[in-house]
Structure formats: structure tokens, C-alpha cells
Amino acid sequence: MDNEKKRTRRPNGASSIYQSADGKWHGRVTVGVKPDGQPDRRHVERKTEADVINAVRELEKQRDSGKVRKAGQRWTVKTWLTHWVENIAAPSVKPNTLASYRVAVNVHLIPGLGAHRLEKLEPEHLELFYKTMQGRGSAAATVHQAHRSMRTALNHALRRGHLTRNVAMLAVAPRVTEKDVEPYTVAEVQSLLAAASRRRNSARWAIALALGLRQGEALGLRWADVDLATGMLRVRKARQRPKYAHGCTEPCGRKHAGRCPERQQTNADTDDTKSKAGKRTIGLPDELANLLKLHQVEQARERTAAGHQWHDGGWVFASEDGRPLIPRTDWDEWKRLLKAAGLRDARLHDARHTAATVLLILGVSERAVMGVMGWSSTAMAARYQHMIDPIRKDIAKRVGGLLWQVPDAAEGSTPDAPEKGAARGE
């Protein structure tokens, strides 16, 4: 055999380039090992030898840098998002977080992007999708929720080798403008407390305005968490929005399980607090402790009136039959309270902003404020504590008192003037 026609066998794992009978050029590169242990050889096809050489070199470069997509199932955006939300997120995140993920995935992301191959998804696809969402009336905050969900899902795909980059980290989501929050003034808080004193569960609103508990934290309180003798309150759990399943043996005709006459609650009444810092102990003002004592007496009367229909769960704030308050019912009562007090409308969460701002007025240290509010970061102070007119006026008065005070003759013309020779370092 002619020596020029002899071929030297290439070592195992080496890349190969060859031309097929149809004139096309092919390259094969070993990039790793498949799940079954077989070599994972990737194939590229180009029209010219130069092009296939470049493609092989690029694939070898990706292999050497660890950026080759993992072998196995070829995911679409739809199949990956469905797998992620149900099998990765569902066992590991809180119920409210999972609910928001499911809305983002099933209502927005899958209908808008689901047909794309996962590895072919580009930042421009996401940006066009975000623009389309806004064009259809979605708020910028809703678009951001979809963007954050996609970014989290793709991060998991990246860590598992299904992607070589997270395009959601490159895509630019629309800017979200936070609404200005105007906390209630001290006089307005006093009006609210006066109006609340004439309503059921009045101490509920005193706790919100004085201590700044989140809605779930306040509704999740049990009497075991309140020590009226020492004036301490422990925050340990947060009330969840109840979720239901149909309990009827025959179809009841209600679309939503929550309206089924035989509905069955499918989640627990409470969950852990929002964060580790949310578990905290707070001192009760004497006035608030007295309100809670009166509330305890009134609840005992309701328990006696309800008789055997009373559901004794030990809740501090309960319905007239002892069941825990439903967050939506609590929200409605807040709106009615604002009208009764003759005050402007505001979110229930603005009561938390108000409590944080009161602590700022009082000059409470930042570390102590974090303990009361259940914050893990000092950055939250800038979000919740607001510069209001009384604080501005106090600052102006103190600055004026320092700069425009008339010095005594004995004190010299400038405050804290350096001694002679100090400027020369003597």
C-alpha cells in the first residue's frame, strides 16, 4: 500500500475533521462524558474546511473553559421553567414566594417565551418580551417579577450545566419607580388610635402603628407570645393566606375552591417569619400593654358568648368564633378604620413605615431600630424611615443655633477655636 495513503490512527479523545461524500465538512470534538459513561462527542458541520476548523477550535475552547452545555435532555424554555418551578423551587421556597414564581412562569414567561430552545435564548428575546408585556398593560413591577423569576430559573440551569451563560443577567428590565410613601404624622396616628378604640380588635392597630409589625406577624401572634407581666412581645410566626381545595363529594358548581361550602384548607395557618431577623422580642409601651389587657378581657367575653362554637387557637387577634383572622378581612378593616378616622387612604404596610419613622423622630439608635423592626440590613432604614417636616425643622433649628448663636465675649468669636500654634503642629 502506498505510504502516502496510509492514515495514522488518531488518539482516543482527539478532535477529527473530515469531508463527506456530499462535499460538506464535519468536525467531531470530545467534550466530556455522558451520564451513561460514554464519551460525549459533539458534531459540527460547515460548508468549507476553514469554517469547520474554526468551529472545532471554538468548541475545544469552550470545553477547556468548562462552558460546554451539558449532554442530555434538550430543554425548551417551557420545559425547563416547568421543571424548575415544580421540582426545584417548590420544595425549597416559602409558599408566597412559590405562588409568585408560578404566576410569573405560567401567566407570563411560558406563554411569551416557552417555545424557545433554552440554549438558544438571547437577551434580546427577553427585552422584546418585557416591552410586549408593558405594551399589554403590565406594570413595570410585574415585568420585574417575571425578570427576577427567569433570572433565578436560568441560574439553576447554569449551575447544572444546561447553559453556558445566564442571558437574564445580560437583559435589561424596565426601570421601576418606587412610589413615595408619606407616613402618618403623630397627630394622625393619635386620630387612628382614637378611632380604633371604638372598634373590635382595637389593639391590632396599636401594635401596627407603635411596633411596626408586618400584617402576617401581627395576625400570627398567640397569647403565648405575649408576656403582659414583663411587658414583652415575641414575634415567632407569620399568618399565611389560607388556601383551599374542594371538599364536596358532588360538584358544588363553584369555580374557586375557596367558595366551596365543604372547602378544605390545604396549608398551615402560620409559617416562619420572613427572615431570621424577623424572629425577635420587642418591649411593649405601658399604654399598649394596658390595651392588650383590655383586649384579653373583651376576648374572654366573646369566648363565653360563643360557647361550644369557639375555636380555641390561642390567637391574640381572632374572629368572633376564635378562628385566626384572614388577611383580606384584616385589610378591609384597615380601610374602614381610615375612613372612620377621616384620614387619607394608604396601604396597610404604610403603618410599618410610620412606626419606623416614629423611631427616627425619637432618635433611637440604628441597631435598636433593626431589632424592633426585624431587619437584617441597615439599608432597610433608608427605605422605611422618612424625613418628615418635624425632623427637618428640628435639624434646621439645631444648625441655626450652632451657626448663628451670639458668642459671649469670654468665649471668643468662633466656637472651638484652636489654640495658638496648633495650626503649626506645635
Q: Give me the residue label for grid cell 410610620.
A: 354
Continuous H helices in 241-309: 286-306
Give the pLDDT score at 6: 42
DSSP output for 81-104: HHHIIIIIITTTS-HHHHHHHHHI
Give the per-residue pLDDT at 217.
96
Residues ≥6 apart with Cβ < 8 Å to 327: 215, 216, 219, 239, 241
Residue 414 carries which DSSP code? S
pLDDT in tens, 182-203: 999 999 999 999 999 999 999 9
Name residues of the chain where pLDDT drops below 50.
1-8, 417-418, 420-426
* pLDDT score for 389: 79
Output phi, psi for 234, to 5 deg: -110, 130
Closest to 245 measured CA to CA, from 254, 235, 236? 254
The answer to whether the pTM exceeds 0.85 is no
Give the pLDDT score at 93: 92
pLDDT in tens, 330-352: 999 999 999 999 999 999 999 99
In this prediction, residue 74 carries a pLDDT of: 82
**What is residue 5's predicted lDDT score, i.e. its pLDDT?**
39
